[in-house]
């Protein structure tokens, strides 16, 4: 027990010393929506989306914002967004209608580029590899995971030819649209509900495999909520969104076909995670606070009581943003 305490204290000191006391610079926006869709392009340009059909964008680091309602859909929650620059972004809804929209003119107009008609269709996350190739994951339909792909930057979408099987009661979470990552070798996504799995797609063999995780699971509110790639490792966070302070089985490490658990874990349920490669810094966020790790997720230290839903590194790798309830955003400062 003393060793764990010393490790956690040592990590906290290292986190504060190396990062020069990381803290959130909170940004007030003109909207009050719950913001779970987040896609920063740089330290100056950031797009976000959320409840009430809301989209918003800053070009000056959060000093001023453009915002609106996507295609007049003020009852739709757009929890997934991928932005490429100040003019182009793709958004996907969570719930019905299950739609994907694209803007090429900075948000002035939005074109519907995909609509899933199945009543159970529910998009959970979005991930791109480069500007052209991207994927959207959705909850299972008729026992198969819904995974859409685009090869033209989001202008057109189609179902992947090979879709993995879903277990009864297995689901993904759209809390931060971060349950899917694209690696150089394939796709990885994490699940929860009745069972928590990591699913793997191999680009070379065009085949799927899965491994059951050590995360908390068994209830609709439990499982993996967000994953990120750190080198050859996958780091995942989550827990039970009805028990914000619970720390048991709510974070994992996966490398070389084996699971591990952190020596000291994030301080509660966490819905989002990001790896800032430039700083070698992992950041996890949730409603009860924010944590950091400088050793690939082995040890975590709380650095802020401020809660957010999602956290993302900017496309240029130079900034880290977070988004939360009430239209709040933040930039990590040093």
CA–CA distance, 43 with 227 (Å, rounded to integer) = 23
Tens of pLDDT, residue by residue over 64-104, are 999 999 999 999 999 999 999 999 999 999 999 999 999 99
CATH of the domain at 306: 2.130.10.10
Beta bridge partners of residue 171, listed in sequence order? 192
CB 273 within 8 A of CB 226: yes
Count CB-CB contacts under 10 A for residue 256.
7
- Domain count of the fold of the chain: 1
Which residues constitute the domain of residue 99?
2-333
pTM here?
0.93
Q: Tokens at residue 201, please? A: 């797609």
Count CB-CB contacts under 10 A for residue 175.
24
| Residue given tokens 């490669």 in the structure block | 277
CB 207 within 8 A of CB 200: no
Angle at 204 between CA 226 and CA 183, to 5 degrees: 25
CA–CA distance, 2 with 8 (Å, rounded to integer) = 10
Print pLDDT tens along the chain (334 aa): 434 444 444 444 445 444 467 899 999 899 999 999 999 999 999 999 999 999 999 999 999 999 999 999 999 999 999 999 999 999 999 999 999 999 999 999 999 999 998 999 999 999 999 999 999 999 999 999 999 999 999 999 999 999 999 999 999 999 999 999 999 999 999 999 999 999 999 999 999 999 999 999 999 999 999 999 999 999 999 999 999 999 999 999 999 999 999 999 999 999 999 999 999 999 999 999 999 999 999 999 999 999 999 999 999 999 999 999 999 999 999 6
């Amino acid at each position: 027990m003393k060793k764990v305490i010393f490790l956690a204290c040592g990590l906290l000191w290292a986190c504060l010393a190396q990062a020069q006391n990381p803290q959130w610079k909170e940004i007030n926006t003109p909207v009050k929506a719950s913001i779970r869709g987040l896609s920063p392009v740089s330290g100056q340009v950031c797009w976000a989306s959320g409840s009430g059909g809301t989209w918003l964008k800053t070009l000056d680091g959060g000093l001023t914002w453009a915002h609106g309602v996507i295609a007049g859909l003020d009852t739709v929650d757009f929890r997934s967004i991928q932005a490429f620059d100040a003019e182009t972004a793709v958004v996907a809804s969570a719930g019905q209608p299950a739609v994907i929209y694209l803007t090429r003119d900075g948000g002035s107009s939005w074109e519907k580029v995909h609509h899933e008609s199945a009543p159970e269709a529910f998009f959970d996350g979005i991930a791109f590899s480069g500007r052209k190739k991207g994927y959207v994951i959705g909850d299972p339909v008729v026992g198969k995971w819904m995974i859409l792909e685009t090869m033209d930057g989001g202008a057109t979408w189609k179902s992947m030819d090979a879709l993995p099987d879903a277990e009864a009661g297995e689901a993904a979470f759209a809390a931060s649209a971060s349950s899917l990552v694209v690696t150089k070798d394939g796709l990885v996504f994490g699940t929860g509900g009745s069972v928590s799995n990591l699913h793997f797609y191999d680009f070379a063999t065009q085949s799927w495999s899965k491994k059951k995780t050590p995360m908390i699971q068994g209830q609709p509110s439990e499982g993996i909520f967000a994953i990120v790639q750190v080198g050859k490792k996958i780091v995942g966070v989550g827990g039970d969104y009805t028990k914000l302070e619970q720390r048991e089985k709510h974070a994992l490490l996966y490398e070389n076909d084996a699971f591990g658990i952190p020596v000291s874990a994030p301080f509660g349920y966490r819905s989002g995670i990001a790896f800032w490669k430039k700083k070698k810094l992992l950041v996890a966020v949730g409603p009860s606070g924010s944590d950091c790790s400088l050793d690939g997720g082995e040890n975590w230290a709380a650095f802020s009581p401020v809660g957010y839903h999602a956290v993302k590194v900017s496309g240029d790798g130079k900034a880290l943003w977070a988004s939360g309830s009430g239209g709040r955003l933040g930039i990590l400062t040093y």
